[in-house]
Amino acid sequence: MEGKVGRREACPFCMSDLRCCLNCQFYDPGAYNQCRELQAERVLDKDRSNFCDWFSFRESIAGGGMSEGKGSAQDKLKALFKSS
């Protein structure tokens, strides 16, 4: 996405907030406060727009990272129960 994402911008398809933690490059469910930026203030609603100064839109292909990990996990599970 080019340029900065405004706080009130929404997805034209699903109307979800674009400037939210879930779309930020620093969002990490396994990190403290689910954010890798240590100076960022805590945000409770990760799917709602916020005023975080550290927000940087995550650059990834839609559905890319999550589905690949899920697929490999499913392959490993199938391999466990595969008869030799």
Model pLDDT for residues 29-69, shown as the tens digit of each residue? 999 999 999 999 999 999 999 999 999 998 875 554 444 44
Measured at the CA of 41, the angle between CA 30 and CA 39, to 5 degrees, comes to 80
How confident is the model at residue 84, as a pLDDT?
55
Distance CA 16, CA 2 (A): 18
Q: Of the candidates 53, 49, 51, which has an alpha carbon nearest to the alpha carbon of residue 9?
A: 49
Write down the domain spans for the chain: 21-80
Tokens 């129960």 correspond to 81
pTM of the model as a whole: 0.65
28, 36 in Cβ contact below 8 A? yes
* pLDDT for residue 6 is more than 90: no
